A = this chain, B = another copy of it.
Amino acid sequence: MNKIQDIQQFLQDENLDAALITTPDNVFYVSGFKSEPHERLLGVMVFKEAEPFVICPLMEVPDLKASGWNFEAVGHQDTEDAWEVLAAAARKRNVSLEKIAIEKSHLTVERMERMEELFEGVTISRIDEKLNSLRNIKSEDELIKLRKAAELADYAIEVGCKEIAEGKTELEILMAIEFEMKGKGAEKMSFDTMVLSGPKTASPHGKPGSRKIQKGDFILFDLGVVYEGYCSDITRTVAFGEPSEKQREIYETVRKAEQAAIDLVRPGVKARELDKVARDVITEAGYGEYFTHRLGHGLGISVHEFPSITGTNDLELQEGMVFTIEPGIYNPEITGVRIEDDVVVTADGVEVLTKFPKELKIIEA
Q: What residues of chain A have their CB less than 8 Å away from a CB belonging to chain B?
A: 38, 79, 102, 104-110, 112-113, 124, 128, 171-172, 175, 178-179, 182-183, 209-210, 304, 312
Residues of B within 8 A of A171 (CB): 179, 182-183
Bound CA span A110–B108, Å: 9
Bound CA span A172–B104, Å: 42
Contact partner of A179 (CB less than 8 A), chosen from B102, B108, B175, is: B175
Bound CA span A209–B183, Å: 8
Residues of B within 8 A of A182 (CB): 171, 209-210
Bound CA span A303–B218, Å: 37
Bound CA span A108–B124, Å: 13
Residues of B within 8 A of A210 (CB): 182-183
Residues of B within 8 A of A102 (CB): 109
Bound CA span A179–B169, Å: 11
Residues of B within 8 A of A128 (CB): 110
Tell me whether A179 and B183 are in contact in the complex, defined as CB-CB below 8 angstroms, given that A107-B109, A108-B104, A113-B104 are known contacts: no
Bound CA span A79–B124, Å: 30
Residues of B within 8 A of A179 (CB): 171-172, 175
Bound CA span A311–B124, Å: 37
Cross-chain contact B38 with A304 (CB below 8 angstroms):
yes
Residues of B within 8 A of A172 (CB): 179
| Distance from A174 Cβ to chain B, minimum over Cβ atoms (Å) | 9
Contact partner of A105 (CB less than 8 A), chosen from B38, B110, B175, is: B110
Residues of B within 8 A of A304 (CB): 38
| Distance from A218 Cβ to chain B, minimum over Cβ atoms (Å) | 22
Bound CA span A5–B216, Å: 53
Cross-chain contact B105 with A105 (CB below 8 angstroms):
no
Query: Nearest residue in B to A60 (C-beta to C-beta)?
Result: B205
Bound CA span A102–B112, Å: 14
Bound CA span A104–B112, Å: 10
Q: Can you sample 21 A-B contacts with CB below 8 Å?
A: A79-B312, A102-B109, A104-B108, A104-B110, A104-B113, A105-B109, A105-B110, A106-B108, A107-B108, A108-B108, A108-B109, A109-B109, A109-B112, A110-B128, A171-B179, A172-B179, A175-B175, A175-B178, A175-B179, A182-B210, A183-B210
Query: Nearest residue in B to A210 (C-beta to C-beta)?
Result: B183
Query: Nearest residue in B to A311 (C-beta to C-beta)?
Result: B79
Bound CA span A210–B185, Å: 10
Residues of B within 8 A of A178 (CB): 175
Bound CA span A114–B176, Å: 46
Query: Nearest residue in B to A204 (C-beta to C-beta)?
Result: B59
| Distance from A343 Cβ to chain B, minimum over Cβ atoms (Å) | 23
Residues of B within 8 A of A107 (CB): 108-109
Residues of B within 8 A of A175 (CB): 175, 178-179
Query: Nearest residue in B to A105 (C-beta to C-beta)?
Result: B110
| Distance from A272 Cβ to chain B, minimum over Cβ atoms (Å) | 13
Interface-central residue, A175, A179, A182, by most chain B CB under 10 Å: A182
Query: Nearest residue in B to A208 (C-beta to C-beta)?
Result: B182
Residues of B within 8 A of A106 (CB): 108
